[in-house]
Amino acid sequence: MKASTTVDAVAAALRSALQAGRWAPGTALRQEELAAEFGVSRIPIREALTRLQAEGLIVVERNRGAYVPLLTPAEVVEIFDLRVLLETDALRHAVPRHTPRSIRHLDAVQRDLDDEADPAQWLAGDTAFHAALYAPSQRRRTIEAIATLRAAVSRFYLAHLSPSTRRDAWNHEHHALVTAVADADADRAVATLTDHLRATAATALAALEP
């Protein structure tokens, strides 16, 4: 296997494990242990960790090594401020490009999500819904930045929230987004998304309180 392929595989596996909440915030990620787990040298592990650091999924410090970061209230506020800016931009560009087929897909994703009880599957479904919502935007770099910001809070969702958290409101807001998109009403869609993200941020901040 080529070195680059090995790094890609290790980074993908670590990324999935981090987003699934395998390691609690503050946990150290020791290169020698990961190398033994993946059956590789420390070189691809180190390169994979560097990638994950660039994505904001881990922190690497000189004297401490790599570890899973803790989210502070200030960081949660900043992440959601950025999400509002980027996701509303993507949605405004996506609305006029949605088709009957893409709207049916969006609605189907949400209907699967309505009754999901497994936290990991619920998170995957929520991610899929937002991806389908913005997909027609043709804003590739914006979507990549959104994915990075969402990844930064994915572990938080699994640690602090559940599918039952704001379930009725969450589902109502998603269905309202589908309706606004189907009506080709970009202003209403953006306003609904803004309220949805702000409410999610408030829920996340409340979960951080002692």
Which domain covers residue 33, as residue numbers?
3-67
Nearest of 83, 33, 113 to residue 200 by alpha carbon: 83
- CATH number at 44 reads 1.10.10.10
DSSP E strand stretches across 44-196: 59-61, 65-67
| Local structure of 133: helix, strand or coil | helix
Please tell me whether residues 150 and 56 are part of one structural domain: no
Please tell me whether residues 60 and 88 are part of one structural domain: no
Please tell me whether residues 59 and 120 are part of one structural domain: no
Please tell me whether residues 95 and 120 are part of one structural domain: yes
Q: What is the pLDDT of residues 2-56, one digit of tens each?
A: 556 899 999 999 988 887 778 877 899 999 999 999 999 999 999 999 999 887 7
Ranges 50-54, 88-92, 115-119: which has the least confidence: 115-119
Please tell me whether residues 46 and 28 are part of one structural domain: yes
pLDDT of residue 34: 95
Structure tokens at 139: 């804003």
Please tell me whether residues 49 and 91 are part of one structural domain: no
pLDDT of residue 4: 62
Please tell me whether residues 87 and 156 are part of one structural domain: yes
Nearest of 15, 156, 145 to residue 84 by alpha carbon: 145
Q: What is the pLDDT of residues 62-78, one digit of tens each?
A: 888 999 888 889 989 99
Cβ-based neighbour number of residue 148 at 10 Å: 16
Considering the entire predicted model, what is its pTM?
0.78
How far lies 21's CA from each of 66, 119, 120, 123, in Å? 16, 11, 9, 11
Please tell me whether residues 42 and 132 are part of one structural domain: no
Using the 3D structure, point to which of 30, 49, 67 is the last residue of a domain: 67
* Mean pLDDT for the chain overall: 89
Residue 121 has pLDDT above 80, yes or no: yes
Please tell me whether residues 58 and 98 are part of one structural domain: no
Please tell me whether residues 24 and 77 are part of one structural domain: no
Total of domains in the chain: 2
- CATH number at 108 reads 1.20.120.530
Please tell me whether residues 77 and 135 are part of one structural domain: yes
Using the 3D structure, point to which of 51, 67, 83 is the last residue of a domain: 67
Percent of the chain with pLDDT over 90: 60
Number of H-type helices and E-type strands within the chain: 9, 3
Using the 3D structure, point to which of 47, 67, 87 is the last residue of a domain: 67
Please tell me whether residues 22 and 124 are part of one structural domain: no
Cβ-based neighbour number of residue 84 at 10 Å: 18
* Cα four-point dihedral sign 74, 75, 79, 82: positive
Residue with tokens 């609904």: 192
